[in-house]
Chain A
Amino acid sequence: DAKTTQPPSMDCAEGRAANLPCNHSTISGNEYVYWYRQIHSQGPQYIIHGLKNNETNEMASLIITEDRKSSTLILPHATLRDTAVYYCIVRVSNYGGSQGNLIFGKGTKLSVKP
């Protein structure tokens, strides 16, 4: 079962920041938070990951609360092409018996509107 909770859907105006929340209240100390997205009819795409510090890359920023029980993915200037399902996943850093497979929940369907 997925260990995260996300709202099923969100809307965002084009050009505005999209803030996608994720709750992971049972996260363990050695688990990372990963974000992926899946644009319709394509495979999932990695966005960003973090452990406890905030992270930023060319696609997005990841804000993790101090207690690590929740996080927010921020797309600073959403475009129509950012319309997708966004998945928040927690996973240990070391590959165990499943060699690092990802457990995807239902994600958040983000709709960016003109």
Chain B
Amino acid sequence: DVKVTQSSRYLVKRTGEKVFLECVQDMDHENMFWYRQDPGLGLRLIYFSYDVKMKEKGDIPEGYSVSREKKERFSLILESASTNQTSMYLCASTPALAGGVNEQFFGPGTRLTVL
């Protein structure tokens, strides 16, 4: 079974703290994504990576950074957490396109609360 795991299901942090969200996939996928999901707004793309050490900004990268040192691991970093970053964070992965279409595999999500 393909698997995407996230380091925590629930996380509570204080304003100004540096927060690390980890995502690991065991499918040898090239592409990895970080989304946040908020009521009424759906999923919004924060950052994605299509290879080790490569990263691209998504639609809402402000306040976030990412790291991809190994193929299987994609980390989302909140340099200084703020209350408006309270959200559900979802990681996903997909293999590199090979002339066709690919489904995205999602992790279970991390519900982050910033106080």
Chain A residues close to B by CB (< 8 Å): 2, 32, 34, 41-46, 49, 91, 93-95, 97-107
Number of interface residues of B (CB under 8 A): 27
Complex: how many Å from CA A41 to CA B101?
Answer: 27
Indicate if the CB atoms of A46 and B103 lie closer than 8 Å: yes
Tell me the smallest distance from the CB of A31 to a CB of chain B, in Å: 10
Tell me the smallest distance from the CB of A44 to a CB of chain B, in Å: 5
Indicate if the CB atoms of B109 and A93 lie closer than 8 Å: no
Complex: how many Å from CA A99 to CA B105?
Answer: 14
Within 8 A of A (CB), among B38-78: 40, 42-43, 45, 48, 50, 56, 58
Cβ contact of B42, chosen from A34, A91, A104, cutoff 8 A:
A104
Tell me the smallest distance from the CB of A54 to a CB of chain B, in Å: 16
The majority secondary structure among interface residues of chain A is loop
Known A95-B31, A98-B45, A100-B104; 12 more pairs at CB < 8 Å: A2-B42, A42-B109, A43-B90, A43-B106, A43-B107, A43-B108, A49-B103, A98-B48, A98-B58, A101-B35, A101-B45, A102-B43
Q: In the assembled complex, which residues on chain B have CB atoms less than 8 Å from the CB atom of A101?
A: 33, 35, 45, 48, 58
Q: In the assembled complex, which residues on chain A have CB atoms less than 8 Å from the CB atom of B91?
A: 43
Q: In the assembled complex, which residues on chain B have CB atoms less than 8 Å from the CB atom of A99?
A: 31, 48, 50, 56
Can you offer 20 A-B residue contacts whose CB atoms are under 8 A? A41-B108, A42-B108, A42-B109, A44-B104, A44-B106, A46-B103, A46-B104, A93-B100, A93-B101, A94-B97, A95-B31, A95-B50, A98-B48, A99-B31, A99-B50, A100-B31, A101-B33, A101-B45, A104-B43, A105-B42
Tell me the smallest distance from the CB of A61 to a CB of chain B, in Å: 17
B25 at the interface (CB under 8 A from A): no
Indicate if the CB atoms of A106 and B101 lie closer than 8 Å: no
In the complex, what residue of chain B is closest to A44 when comparing beta carbons? B106
In the complex, what residue of chain A is closest to B96 when comparing beta carbons? A95
Q: In the assembled complex, which residues on chain B have CB atoms less than 8 Å from the CB atom of A95?
A: 31, 50, 97
Indicate if the CB atoms of A44 and B100 lie closer than 8 Å: no
In the complex, what residue of chain B is closest to A34 when comparing beta carbons? B103
